[in-house]
A = this chain, B = another copy of it.
Amino acid sequence: MGLKAIEWLDDKLRILDQSKLPQEQSFIDLVNYQDVASAIKEMRIRGAPAIGIVAAYGIALGAQSIKAASKEEFLVQLNQVMQTLAATRPTAVNLFQAISRMKEAAIGDSVPETKEALAAEAKQIHSEEAEATKRLSYLGAELIQDGFTILTHCNAGPLATAGYGTALGVIKAAKEQGKRISVIATETRPLLQGARLTAWELQQEGIPVTLITDSMAGYFLRQGKINCVIVGADRIAANGDVANKIGTYTLAVLAKENSVPFYVAAPISTVDISLPCGAGIPIEERNPEEVTHIRGIHIAPEGIGVANPAFDITPHGYVSAIITEKGIMKEPYEKGFRCN
């Protein structure tokens, strides 16, 4: 992809505004950590790995603006920056892992040295994540055979990862290996990341893609037209339970019912080894207007009750394999995660 999802410009962070794609390709300069927090909340930047990277840069930006006489005072203010960023979105663990790494990186002797160390750590997180998604994509491509039709949900490509992609990375790597691949992409209501981002990214990669509504996936799985399902993840518990975009659990159940492999592709940074199972993963409930309105158009009656959970949990029993940069993991997942 020619467009950079995230670009660090030393005194600001430039992001592609994903909420406007594909009709409009516009960039926003985030000049302070509050801007970064708003961009994450409003999903101008989204995708678990990308959120982690942007939060790290947000902390680096926040650190730059702190005017503190002592390291102690600096750390107090830095903690507030981190808390603001931690409060943006609850489900993707990459956010909290990035914040935790930034906390550990605040180790310079002086305030200026610490500011530099934080900027360096943010860049390091970015390059490590980009490397991880590239590596897992090539490992995962071994699961994909020539001629496969792959179903994916939401968006787990370069935009979501500020790297090579996870689910779409595997698809891209398989194509680079000369395999003929086609993709069926769900539109992914409410925010249409599949229709707006995945369809657009695949189109740019020259990979044939068919867009469907979320409700059509079962029809195509039952017809035997899909060889495997690949999705990304927002948080994976130690036992392999997967939090991902709402609708993922449904696809996993449909895949199992129709004997189609269901793969999750995610960097190890998405694994939350502290949680024994998915029940501990917080599920973000977002604004009802995302359901009652589509691109600003009101589609429902006034005053209607709405639920808008942004993620669901797919129990590990439905997951055929988890593709990470450390290898393709299978049951028992915890053993694989801990050995790597």
Question: Measuring CB to CB, which residues of chain A are less than 8 angstroms from any residue of chain B?
Answer: 22-23, 184, 186-190, 192, 195-196, 199-200, 203, 208-220, 222, 245-247, 249-250, 253-254, 257, 291-292, 294-301, 303-309, 312-313
Contact = CB atoms under 8 A, between A and B. Distances in A.
Nearest to A298: B23
A296 B296 CA distance: 11
A294 B295 CA distance: 9
SS of A interface (majority): mixed
Q: Copies per complex?
A: 2
Contacts of A247: 213-216, 218
Given A216-B307, A304-B211, A187 B23 contact: no
21 contacts: A186-B215, A187-B189, A187-B300, A188-B215, A190-B213, A192-B299, A195-B300, A200-B301, A210-B306, A211-B305, A212-B291, A212-B306, A213-B214, A215-B245, A215-B250, A218-B312, A220-B307, A222-B249, A222-B313, A253-B257, A297-B297
B246 A213 contact: yes
Contacts of A189: 187, 189, 213-215
B297 A218 contact: no
A22 B300 CA distance: 7
A270 to B, nearest CB: 20
Nearest to A290: B213
A6 to B, nearest CB: 21
A89 to B, nearest CB: 18
